[in-house]
């Protein structure tokens, strides 16, 4: 039995990907969600659709260090080994403002820092061929451009509002690079990759922005467009396909194809700064 953890798995990309992976009964899926009611409903839907009874719920709120620690403790205490970790949970700045109880910008902690902490805590219980997939976005490279203001400004939300999401997703790509760099310096054989699902109008993510936004993206940025069906099939493949077992430090673009991410996302200095500051923020040093 292989064990897959997917954060934010009660809706959208996380849910559809969980369902696709669960179709293969070789996999146990842990739905890592913040809302028990929604997560239980998702679990029942996946079991009904796939006949795979090995679907479980564990509560996690990626915007809370305490919750991430509790989740990791439950996983570690259960004695399972992890084969796939998909760091998927995310919010848009339209749905989250202000600082978390830990003192960080809520978009930064929910989308990136909570996943950084979660991954660090779970490294000791990963199987040798574990795959870590960080969900990013092509908005890590927004049309209006992005420069690096330093980690502190991003972490505390001291950046313009529209860029908070872009920075959180840029951080996911830096995290992928830094993880692979870390594995190379240790005896770890895990792989880590970034995955861009593209613009999916059919998830809860941009709820409220409606058909008009979908049409606008289709017309003005067809190169950003995807569907939940297309991206979840691709993500399930990236998580499980034997052909992709050794691919590491890549950026998957809405498919099993890899492309270059933005030039800024390859800046090693920024990736190291983010890694070191994140260790400090999470009290892991």
Query: Residue 100 phi/psi, 5° resolution?
Result: -80, 175
Whether the Cβ atoms of residue 155 and residue 104 lie closer than 8 Å to each other: yes
Among 2, 5, 8, 248, which residue interacts with ligand NAP (rule: CB under 6 A)? 8
Residues paired with 52 in a beta bridge = none
Is 93 or 243 the residue whose CB approaches ligand NAP more closely? 93
Is residue 165 part of the annotated active site? The answer reads yes
Site track 76-95 with ligand NAP (rule: CB under 6 A), x = hit: ------------xxxx----
Query: In this chain, which stretch among 4-12, 71-79, 145-153, 239-247 interacts with ligand NAP, using CB under 6 A?
Result: 4-12
Residue 231 Cβ, how far from ligand NAP at the closest point, in Å? 8
Question: Between 108 and 147, how does the x/- string for binding to ligand NAP read (CB under 6 A)?
Answer: --x------------------------x-x----------
Does 12 interact with ligand NAP (rule: CB under 6 A)?
Answer: yes
CA neighbours closer than 13 Å in the CB half-sphere of residue 162: 7
Residue 14 within binding range of ligand NAP, rule CB under 6 A: yes
Kindly name the residue from 27, 112, 156, 165 that is annotated as catalytic: 165
Select the residue interacting with ligand NAP from 2, 28, 34, 254 (CB under 6 A).
Answer: 34
Which residues contact ligand NAP by CB under 6 A? 7-8, 10-14, 33-35, 38, 60-63, 88-91, 110, 135, 137, 197, 199-200, 203-206
Task: Supply the residues annotated as catalytic.
Answer: 165
């Amino acid at each position: 039995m292989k064990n897959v953890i997917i954060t934010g798995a009660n809706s959208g990309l996380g849910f559809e990907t969980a369902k696709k992976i669960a179709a293969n009964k070789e996999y146990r899926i842990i739905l890592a969600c913040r809302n028990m009611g929604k997560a239980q409903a998702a679990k029942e839907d996946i079991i009904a659709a796939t006949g795979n009874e090995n679907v479980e719920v564990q509560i996690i709120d990626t915007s809370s260090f305490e919750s991430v620690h509790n989740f990791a403790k439950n996983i570690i205490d259960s004695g399972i080994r992890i084969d796939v970790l998909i760091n998927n949970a995310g919010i848009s700045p339209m749905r989250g403002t202000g600082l978390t109880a830990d003192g960080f910008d809520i978009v930064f902690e929910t989308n990136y820092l909570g996943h950084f902490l979660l991954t660090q805590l779970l490294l000791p219980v990963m199987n040798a061929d574990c795959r870590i997939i960080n969900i990013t976005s092509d908005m890590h490279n927004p049309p209006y451009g992005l420069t690096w203001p330093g980690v502190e400004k991003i972490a505390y939300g001291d950046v313009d509002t529209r860029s908070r999401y872009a920075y959180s997703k840029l951080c996911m790509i830096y995290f992928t690079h830094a993880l692979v760099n870390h594995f190379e310096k240790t005896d770890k054989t895990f792989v880590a990759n970034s995955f861009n699902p593209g613009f999916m109008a059919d998830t809860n993510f941009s709820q409220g922005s409606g058909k008009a936004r979908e049409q606008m993206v289709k017309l003005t940025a067809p190169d950003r467009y995807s569907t939940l069906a297309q991206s979840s099939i691709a993500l399930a493949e990236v998580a499980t396909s034997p052909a992709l077992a050794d691919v590491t430090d890549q950026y998957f673009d809405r498919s099993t194809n890899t492309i270059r991410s933005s030039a800024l996302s390859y800046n090693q200095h920024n990736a190291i700064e983010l890694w070191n500051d994140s260790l400090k923020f999470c009290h892991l040093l």
